[in-house]
Amino acid sequence: MMRIGLFLLTNLAVIVVFSIVFGILSRFFGVGGVYSAGGINYASLAIMCGVYGMVGSMVSLFISKWMAKRSTGTVVIEAPSNATEQWLIDTVAKQARAVNIDMPEVGIFNNSQPNAFATGWNKNKALVAVSSGLLQSMTADEVEAVLAHEIGHVANGDMVTLALIQGVINAFVMFFARIIGNFVDRTVFKNEGDGPGIGYFVTSIVMDILLGFLASAIVMWFSRLREFRADEMGAKLASRDKMISALDALRPAEQRPDQMPESMKAFAIASGQSTGFSIANLFRSHPTLDDRIAALRKYNPSEA
């Protein structure tokens, strides 16, 4: 149902760029000490992949809010121009105080489907945005619950945790991509030189992309877990009934093709029915609405 999100796409692009740059430096300038006449130095490779993997993830994290605004066309409310905008600001401010975080930026993006997202590199420098369709189709209580859900993502530090998980995954992806690249270079391209050949570079980059895509299933697993946690925060800050009602209100939109940009689907509260090719449930960023509602019915905010 859900595809790779903005963070994953940005992260993958950064990793590929790093791979190309590092390949050029190591091939022509001998930087890195990873490849020698005796083959790959696995210790040096592991260190390099760990550093580059985390850097790629952190870059994705730091630009996440800027990219989110651009990809969705979100307009941040600087000065409320109507009662609805004032209510949004007041509600988010109240919820932010309740979880002891700084006031996030609040924005609205033009999308006919009910949706919302939260992002940012720091829980005190976050952005919470809702769609025009959400404001038009949901009651005030339901919108309040959706905002509480997004504040839950922020307060739980989901973006930072996601970045750390992605950084570790990046390191493994880059490490094994270069092991495979070296194997192909030596066995298929018959390179017997002192340094890596074209087979190593091409295969490494291709495997960065392929393994990065496959490894995203791990990130999607974490994404599904964080949705349950954010729903619980929504129930705690608004009420369980309001949160369940908000999720129920998403059902009609779930039956239609999703209008959210592909790059932002992993960070939204809901998704519509995907069209075209889909790869099982391993790559779903969100649990089903039925699973989320069932979990909420068992959750008691007063005991949390």
CA 290 to chain centre: 22
Alpha-carbon gap, residue 77 to 280, rounded angstroms: 38
85 counts as catalytic: no
Retrieve residue 5's tokens: 């999100």
CA 4 to chain centre: 8
Q: Are 102 and 79 in contact (CB under 8 A)?
A: no
User: How far, CA to CA in Å, does 101 sit from each of 124, 128, 199, 237?
Assistant: 6, 13, 50, 14
The count of other CB atoms within 10 Å of the CB of residue 215 is: 18
The string of DSSP codes covering 61-82 is HHTHHHHHHHHHT-EE-SS--S
- Exposed/middle/buried for 137, CB within 10 Å: 0-12, 13-18, 19+? middle
The count of other CB atoms within 10 Å of the CB of residue 289 is: 16
User: At how many degrees (to 10) do helices 198-237 and 6-28 cross?
Assistant: 150
HSE of 199, CA atoms in CB hemisphere, 13 A: 16
Longest dimension (CA), the chain: 72
The count of other CB atoms within 10 Å of the CB of residue 273 is: 12
Among residues 144, 150, 227, 254, which one is catalytic?
Answer: 150
HSE of 103, CA atoms in CB hemisphere, 13 A: 13
Retrieve residue 133's tokens: 């369709």
Active centre residues (catalytic)? 150
